[in-house]
Structure 1
Amino acid sequence: MLDTSPLTAVVERFADRLRSAPQSRLQRGAAAEGLALARELSVRAQRLEGLTGGAAPHEMPDDGIFVVGDQLAVAGLDLAEALRTAKAPSEVLDEAVRLVEQAEVRAMR
């Protein structure tokens, strides 16, 4: 079984940073970066789970800058579970971890 703890660790770290970020940082782009990442992780999870049925994946809504950390955490945990269930190759996990790390760098500079 694929160990997805590297993904859950980086997702939780970034989500916690977004939750504790000042409003000014969130407004300067950190929230937008977090939401874009949450949406991407959500789409990847839906595709792995076969939830799209050939249709376009559901897009995570923009519920505001103060909930983006929670949205990211949910999307990341959903993807981690989908990766485990689908028995995805480790390369898919590695790519997801890199996506999160890169988004965190962009959001928190």
Structure 2
Amino acid sequence: MLDTTPLLDAVDHFAAALRAAPQSRLQRGAAGEGLALARELARRAQRIETPEREPRTMPDAGVFVVADQVQVAGRDLAEALRTGPAAEEDAVADLVTLIRTAERRAFP
């Protein structure tokens, strides 16, 4: 079974940083980075779970919700990777890189 622990750890770390950020920091771009990441993670999970259907776009629910959106989308993707078609360990490593890159853009 695919180990998604590194993916979950990266998601949790970024979500915690978003939760700890002041409103001004979230409004200056951190929330936008988080939302973009959450949307991408959700899109990838949907592609695995229902490849025949066009993915829905995660809505913008506001700067104070984006940490939860990142965490939910990341956990959904981890579950899709674990239960879906065989995924490579490289896929998890690539996702961790994607998350860390978004976090560095959000919190330079």
Q: TM-score, normalised by structure 1?
A: 0.94
Letter in 2 for 1:23: Q
Aligned counterpart, 2:71: 73
Letter in 2 for 1:90: E
Aligned counterpart, 1:58: 56
> Where do 1:98-109 residues align within 5 Å?
98-109=97-108
State the secondary structure of the residue aligned to 1:61.
coil
Structure 1 residue ranges, 4+ long, deviating more than 3 angstroms after superposition: none
Give the Cα–Cα distance (whole angstroms) in 2 for the partners of residues 106 and 12 of structure 1: 17
Q: Does 1:8 align with 2:34?
A: no
Q: Percent identity among equivalent residues?
A: 60
Letter in 2 for 1:102: T
The C-alpha deviation readout for 1:56-97, integer Å capped at 9, x for no partner, is: 200000000000000000000000001111231112111111
Give the Cα–Cα distance (whole angstroms) in 2 for the partners of residues 39 and 73 of structure 1: 11
Q: Which runs of 5+ in 2 are unaligned?
A: none
Give the Cα–Cα distance (whole angstroms) in 1 for the partners of residues 47 and 98 of structure 2: 17
State the secondary structure of the residue aligned to 1:46.
helix
Q: Which runs of 5+ in 1 are unaligned?
A: none
Give the Cα–Cα distance (whole angstroms) in 2 for the partners of residues 56 and 20 of structure 1: 34
The C-alpha deviation readout for 1:28-74, integer Å capped at 9, x for no partner, is: 10000000000000000000112x52x42000000000000000000
How many equivalent residue pairs? Answer: 107
